[in-house]
Amino acid sequence: MTFWIITGLMCAAVAAVLGLAMLRGRTASQAAAAYDLDVYADQLKEVDRDLARGMLSADEAARVRTEVSRRILAADVQLHSSTQSENRGAGMAVAVVTGVAIVAGAGALYSQMGAIGYRDVPIKSRIAASDILRAERLTQADAEARVADIPRTPPPEASADFLALMEDLRATVKDRPDDLRGLMLLARNEASLGRAKEAAAAQGRIIALKGADATAADHAFYADVLITAAAGYVSQEAEAALRTALKMSPTHPIARYYLAQYMVQVDRPDTAFRLMEELLRDSTADAPWLPSLRAQIEEVAWRAGVAFELPPLERSGGPSASDIAAADDMSPEDRKAMIEGMVGQLSQRLAAEGGSAEEWARLIRALGVLERFDEARSIFVESLRVFEGREAELELMRAAGRTVGISDNDL
């Protein structure tokens, strides 16, 4: 009620100020009687000029002055009676209409953009509202139905040969639905092709076959593909998978990341921020979830009412920690030259002899540290060709690419 009283007084004050301005009338306008007064004044001056030139006698001039003066008095009376009343009446009407328009317009605008009757929500009420959101979470099927119209296409790196192999794998798993190894290959590769719904079906079957032997990683990956299939929505089934994974491994990073997303979706930014801040502290610079985490955490902190400053990103990769520690006493120019020399040696060796996926990923990250992004992109593309069909190594390459802002979807 206090809000409406204050709002009404403010609208009345604005309307009153505008109304007073309108009631004063418009000084730039001139009524008909005022125009007549100007004409009669000119006539009196003309009489004096004609008398001086001998065009009028003294008696004629006196008679004309009397007549003009009578007209001036009549026009003056008309000006002060009719004009002021007309202007005041018109100004009053406009002032009333304007005041009503201000109040009505403000009310209409607030009804569309404001929150009528919204009160400060105590923490107990917020938690109760969050509990309602949790209870009303969509099932996975309903969540997927909401995004069923979004087209799905294979990523650019999927070759025709690989897609043909995937068709054979799908047929094999269909004929042998209890083949655990085939299902594991199918789940991972379907996920890499952006077919999250199919990956989730395969992963769910894996967990059912493993039973009590299913690991936290199995449940976390299941939640991952379920959430991806629902375009980021954490369904009832996805939440259950996350809870199971965290019960088995409380520090599992993927499960922690997605549980924080769930807390955001059920309007618990306080819990979401706590989870995000802990995960941020525990994450390495090449963690695949880190860019998304850093992009969200400040807004979540603001919603939670927490003063938080995002720490600078410490990029990893390139020379080892011991190499960099040994360069502490060097000048910046010498230190950069040493790192570039190591990167050059690694690049030459990989080009001539090949190397492990870890070494390729290390080179990509090192080039990013040196801000040689074109070279990093070139090495990244080459690594996708070298490790084609080897999903574990490809995932390592993608993680390294993400640390320097490169995605295989952008190629």
Q: Quick check: 252 and 369 in contact, CB under 8 A?
A: no
Burial of 376 (0-12, 13-18, 19+ CB in 10 A): buried
Nearest to 399 by CA among 360, 371, 370: 360
pLDDT of res. 348: 76
Q: Tell me how far apart the alpha carbons of residues 340 and 346 are, in angstroms, rounded to a whole number.
A: 10
Nearest to 243 by CA among 229, 263, 270, 228: 263
Q: What is the pLDDT averaged over residues 291-305?
A: 91
Which has the higher per-residue pLDDT, 32 or 212? Answer: 212
Q: Residue 24: is its pLDDT beyond 80?
A: no
Q: Residue 323: is its pLDDT beyond 60?
A: no
Q: Residue 27: is its pLDDT beyond 50?
A: no
Query: Collapsing DSSP states into helix, strand and coil, what is residue 237?
Result: helix
Rg (CA), the chain: 40
Query: How high is the mean pLDDT of the chain?
Result: 78
In the chain, pLDDT over 90 holds for what percent of residues? Answer: 27
Q: Tell me how far apart the alpha carbons of residues 306 and 325 are, in angstroms, rounded to a whole number.
A: 35
pLDDT interval class at 275 (50, 70, 90): very high
Note the pLDDT tens digit of each residue in 111-161.
666 655 555 556 677 778 788 888 889 999 999 999 888 776 666 677 788
Q: Quick check: 260 and 275 in contact, CB under 8 A?
A: yes
pLDDT interval class at 32 (50, 70, 90): low
Please give the structure tokens belonging to residue 158: 């999927």
Which has the higher per-residue pLDDT, 147 or 272? Answer: 272
Q: What is the DSSP string of 265-298?
A: HTT-HHHHHHHHHHHHHH--TT-TTHHHHHHHHH
Please give the structure tokens belonging to residue 304: 């939670």
Q: What is the DSSP string of 58-94?
A: HHHHHHHHHHHHHHHHHHHHHIIIIIHHHHHHHHHHH
Q: What is the pLDDT averaged over residues 1-10?
A: 71
Q: Which of 42-51, 290-299, 326-335 holds the top average pLDDT? A: 290-299
Note the pLDDT tens digit of each residue in 150-192.
776 666 677 788 888 899 999 999 999 999 999 999 998 888 8
Q: Tell me how far apart the alpha carbons of residues 128 and 401 are, in angstroms, rounded to a whole number.
A: 42
Rounded to two decimals, the pTM is: 0.53
